[in-house]
Each structure stands twice: as C-alpha cells, then as structure tokens.
A and B are shown apart, each in its own frame.
Chain A
C-alpha cells in the first residue's frame, strides 16, 4: 500500500480576499462576498472559475457550495464538503479536506473558502433572546455563560493557573498582532496602534485574562484558496505553497457536554500536533512562519504550547512583543495582523498570509519562509492545523 499521506501531493495555487469590513459594514451580501473572493483566487491562480470542481468550507458557512457552483458556471461539481463544528476549528481542515479530495483524484481543483457578513445574521458575541434553551445550553445560559468568550474563559483560567502564566504573555500576543496590522492596507485595525498602556487600561470582557484586546473582532468579508495537484501547481502562474500536512480532530471526548472533556485546560491540539509534524516530516523548529487563530489570546497561548512552539515554563519570558514581530523577532506571529487586527475571517486570512509568506510577497515578510504552520480555532472541537511548504521542503 502506498504511503498514506497528504505530504507534497497538493498545493495552494491561488488566493483571494475581498476588502475586509468592520462588522455589519459590507455593502455586499455574504454570498456575493464569497463569489468575489473565489473569482479573485481564480485570477491569482490564472484559471477560470469554470474549472473549479469542488468546494470545501467550515463553520456552517451559509454560502452553499452547489449554489456557488451554479453561480460560477462550474462545468461539473465533484466535491462538496462541510467541516463539522463552529467558529474557525475547521479552517485548516477545509484546506485539508480539499487536499484530500485532490490527492485522491476525487476532484482536480477545489476551493476552500469562508464568507461572513455578520450584519446580515446573528452576531457571535451577542446571545439570542430566546426564552427557553435546551441541550447543553440549558446548563450554561441561565448562569450567564453564553458568548464564546464566556464559554472558553474557564479553560484559559485553569491553564494559566496550572502553569503560572501571567496576563503579560497574552498582552505580548495582542501587541504583535496589532503591530503587524499597521502596515497592512487591508487590515481593519490599521491606524489603531496598541501599546502596553492601552492594553492594560482596556476594559474587562471576562476576568481574569480577557481584556478587550484579547478578544477577536467580528467582521465581514470573504477569503478563498485554490487547491490543485502538486504537479499541476508547479506549472501555474504563482509559486506553489505545498500542503505538507493537515491534522484535524479533538482529544478523547473533547465535545463532552457542560465542560466535561477530560483534558479541559487545553486548546485541543495536544494529540493532533504530533500527527501533523509526523506527516510533514518536519518539527516545530522548521516553522519560520507561524500563524495562530486568535479567538482569544489565551487560545493562542495554549495552541503555541501544544504545537511545541513554546514551552509552558518559558511562556512568560518568551511571549513578549519583541520576540513575536517580524523586525528581529525570534518567532514572528500572525504577520498580517490575524483575527485580532487584520480581519476575523475565521482564520482563512492566516492561510492566505502563509501563502504570501512562502511566495515572498508578504507585507511583513519573514526571512525564513520555507515552512508555515497554521493553527485553527483553538478550544472549539474539532480543531485543525496545517503545514504548508515551499518546493525546498518537499
């Protein structure tokens, strides 16, 4: 039996993003945003949208793949896929699912995408006014545990408690993201610098550890990447970003209701990360490009630790702005601004930034740009992560 791996079999050949808007500010409908991002990604790849034959998304994206296929005049739809789970847990998984379809010959050109115009629908950080709640919510909402920040904060509280990690480590993460957004013209937080004083003075969303600047924004926009077979990608318009590995899933019973997952203080990457590196045949020290989904900075902290990028006992010392920025930092993080400061595009903007870094066309370009790790949707379940590489990593 051939080696069961995704390693090097597919590549991202095109990337597309709409303008990123503040929440509710998109002049376009959510579905139109999805179309715009996909058309742009096709232009970038030098292909016609007619030649897409598959769609992969996540987070219960409302832009239906088959409708997109009809709207774009796709000749034949061969792959139509939704990754279970909320938020951005599926961001890397959608790229991995697209790659799996392409690597196995189910499809030849699959787009992984996300589209959000939250002004047209319910917001994430506002709970609905529904009078009666059932299922797991019945054990949480009546106690005021409703929003994502409130549902995840106790995981972070316990993790920080267990490892003696201080608020300043989370501040370092936020400062780096905002720093990188300042040069990015498409960043929603461009022109809104963040410093230590402003962070410290910001109001609590959830105490302890969630200041305003520890929490993602909500935004409107869309992003898309085109996945094709590796041997085709090398002859296409842009330098390929090869998919070296993807992992998705959760720890044992990570979806156990009412906070009963056995490994509670976790971003849920502990079991996944070793599989990811094994598939890529790479290690944390190979990753010059590090992109981690910020729903909350505490999730970033746990993700970096569970992916072996930082040791828990070194987190207080290491996670300071100077180490995390592109100008001389030892581990530049979220180099386009990420969910916090570029756009909360549920992490797909992190995948796109990784491709730009590998191509060498990023605004905040890192020097060591052969391998990228992207960590998607910490603390939700399932989560997913991805390693991309240049030709040199094959």
Chain B
C-alpha cells in the first residue's frame, strides 16, 4: 500500500527560482514544520513573502513550529481535474488553522477514510509524507485527526 495519500503523478512542489519558500521545503525534508516569523515585530506570517505585512521589515526569520491545528474548513473533491486522479475517487483537503501561531492557515489532505465526516473545529496533527523517489525528493505535510 502506498504511503502517499494521493496517487503519484500530481504536480510536485518547487521553491522556484526566487527561493522564497526554500526554507519551508528544506524543513519538511528534515521533519520540521517551519513558517516565517518577523524579526522586527515578531508577527507570524504564512505563506511566505519578502516583507512583513505588519511592520514592513525585510528581516524575516523562519521558525520551527509544532504541528498542532484545528480544521477551519474542508472540501471533498470528486471530479478529477488532473490525469493522475482519474479513477481515484474522492479525497479530502483541509484548511487547518494554527491558533498558537497567529491563526495562520495551511492546506493539506486529511488522512484516513476519504468518505469520513470532517469536523470543522476538530483538532489535527501534522504528519510528514516523504516522496523520496521523486526528482528532486520532497516532503508534504498532511494532517490527521487527534
């Protein structure tokens, strides 16, 4: 059984030529979840950006965080929009809010039965999903109910 929630062949993440998101993807490879924290005003920021939206400092650091969150919203796509998903059936994407980190939100899949009832507000824990045989290898962050 595959250790990946979705089939192989979906687009793979890249930090891109500007490298803005590179610390995040390097972190997930090492089993760390990290997001931006402003060294000027200490605001948490996600997704990555070059400047702090609060104090306009360009001195943004990256900080390892605990992967504890709660489900803010969800969806269960049925219609496949990518050839890798043809015939796969429904799956669950969740929008997870992280109350300990300024309520920033992350998107991932909810592990387990794709037909399960999804509780909005339910507590979830981050789970690393390595794709070691991809070129280059990458690691996604998924979520499971706790």
Q: Which residues of B contact A158 (CB under 8 A)?
A: 72-73, 95, 120
B47 with A206: CB separation less than 8 A: no
Pick the residue among A154, A155, A205, A256 that contacts B79 (CB under 8 A). A205
Q: Is the CB of B47 within 8 A of A257?
A: yes
A138 to B104, CA, bound (A): 17
Task: Contact check, B15 vs A134: say whether CB atoms are below 8 A apart.
Answer: yes
A139 touches B77 (CB 8 A): no
Interface string of A255-279 (1 = CB under 8 A from B): 0111110001100000000000000
A142-B13, A205-B78, A260-B47 known; A129+B83 contact, CB < 8 A: yes
Known: A142-B13, A258-B106. Is A126-B81 also a contact (CB below 8 A)?
yes
- A60 is an interface residue with CB less than 8 A from chain B: no
- A260 touching B13 by the CB < 8 A rule? no
Contact B73 A125 (CB under 8 A): no
Q: Which of A142, A154, A158 has the most CB of B within 10 A?
A: A142
- For B83, the closest partner residue in chain A by CB is A129
Q: Is B48 an interface residue (CB 8 A)?
A: yes
B98-114 vs A, Cβ < 8 Å mask (1 yes, 0 no): 00000011111100000
Instruction: Check if A137 sits within 8 Å of B11, measured CB to CB.
Output: yes
Q: Which of B6, B16, B46, B77 contacts A260 (CB 8 A)?
A: B46
B68 at the interface (CB under 8 A from A): no
Contact in complex: B48, A257 (CB < 8 Å): yes
A139-B140 Cα distance, complex, nearest whole Å: 9
Structural contact, B81 and A257, CB atoms closer than 8 A: no
In this assembly, does B12 line the interface, its C-beta being within 8 Å of a C-beta of chain A?
Answer: yes
A126–B82 Cα gap in the complex (Å)? Answer: 7
A131 close to chain B: CB less than 8 A? yes
Query: What 13 additional pairs, Cβ within 8 angstroms, besides A132-B12, A142-B10?
Result: A129-B82, A139-B107, A142-B13, A142-B140, A144-B10, A144-B109, A149-B79, A204-B90, A205-B77, A205-B78, A206-B77, A206-B79, A208-B75
Interface residues of A (CB under 8 A from B): 125-127, 129-147, 149-150, 153-155, 157-158, 161, 203-208, 253, 256-260, 264-265
| A/B interface sample: 17 pairs, CB < 8 A | A129-B83, A130-B11, A131-B12, A133-B12, A134-B13, A134-B16, A139-B13, A139-B47, A142-B12, A144-B77, A145-B77, A154-B72, A206-B77, A207-B76, A257-B48, A260-B105, A264-B73
